[in-house]
Amino acid sequence: MVLRKSNENHRGVKPGSAPRRCDLKGLSLSQTEEWAVRHGLEPYRGRQIRHWLMGRLVGSPHEMTNIPKTVRALIREKAIINPLAQVKTLRSEDGTRKYLFRLRDNHLIESVLIPERDHLTLCISSQAGCAMGCRFCLTGRQGLKRDLHPSEIIEQVILVRRSLDNPEELRNIVLMGMGEPLANYEAVMMALRNMIAEDGMNFSHRKVTLSTCGLVPEMKRLGHDITINLAVSLNSADDETRSSLMPINRKYPLKTLIRACREYPLPNRRMITFEYILINGVNDRAQDALNLAKLLTGLRAKINLIPLNAAPDSHMSPPPLERVLHFQEILVGHHFTVVIRKSKGRDIMAACGQLTGASATEQKGAS
C-alpha cells in the first residue's frame, strides 16, 4: 500500500476543527478517488471502496476483503457508510413490503417494494415529509421536515437489495415515495447518477422513473441533465380543479406544465407517464376524461389511472369501478395507452399517497 500525505483540513472543514466524516455513498467515482487521495491512499483504493459499497452492497468495512486492515480502519474512522438504519418491514397480503428507515437525525422515511409478474419495483423517498401539500396525499400533511442527502436516497435501494434472497430481481426504481424529487434536485441527481452508473449500481436508465407534481424549471433541467423516465402527477385537465387538489398548479398552471412536457427531450419510443388519481365526484366525470384527452393530444403520453387510496379520516373517496372503466374507455377511444393501476399494499398503508413514516410503527405484520 502506497501512502500519500493526508490533508485533513480539506474543503468544508475549518482549520483546527475536527474533520467531518465523509458520507461515501453520496459521492461520485471521481470524488471517492479524491477522498482516498486526501487520506494518503492511491486513487484505485477509492474505486475498490466504491465497488464494495455500490456493487457488493457491503454494510461494513470488515467485509472489504481485498482492502488492507489499515485502510478498513481508516474507513471506519473517517467515513459514513450506513446513513440509514432499518427499523422494521411490514408485509402486505399481496406481497408488497414497506420498509421503515430511520435517518441519523431520527426522522423516519419509507420505501415500498412492489412485486410484479417477473421482477420487483422499489418506490423510494427523496425527502422526509413534503412541502407540496397535495390534498389527496398523506405525506403532504406532514409538511417538509428536510431534504434527503444523496446517500440516504441510494441507501434505500442498497438496504432493500441486501434484504432480498435474489437482489437481481429488483430491476425497477421509481422516485414516487415521500417528497417531491425535483424540490431536492442536486441530491436526487447525484443519487440517480450513482444508480445508473456502470461503476455504481448499474441500473438501466430505462428502468428508473422520477415522478413530479410539476416543478417546471427543474423539469427542464432534468431533461438535459440525465436520461430516465418521467412521470407527471396531473390529476385534472382544468386549472380550477387541479389548483384545488395541488397548490403547485397556482405557480405552474396547466398551460405552462404541458408546454414543458411537449418540450421535454424524449428518446425514441419513450413516453411521459401522466398519473391521474381518480376521486369520486371531483375529477372522474366523462367530461373530465374528454378534457384530459384534449389536453394531451399530440404528446407521447401514457396515462396511469389510480383510484384514490383514501385515508381513514378523508372526506374524499375513489369512484365506483364502472366509472373508472368508463373513464379509461373514453381515453382509449382517443388512442391513448391507459392503464388502471392496481394499488398494492393498502392493508399496510403502502399504496400511492399513503406514506407517512411514523404511521408504519403502528401497523400490524411487522418483522
Active site residues: 110, 352
Cα gap 166→138, rounded to integer Å: 32
Q: Which residue type sits at 200?
A: G
Instruction: Record the cell numbers describing residue 323, joined without a space.
Output: 366509472
| 182 contacts 222 by C-beta, under 8 angstroms | yes
Chain-centroid distance of CA 73 in Å reads 33
| 6 contacts 39 by C-beta, under 8 angstroms | yes
Cα gap 58→242, rounded to integer Å: 45
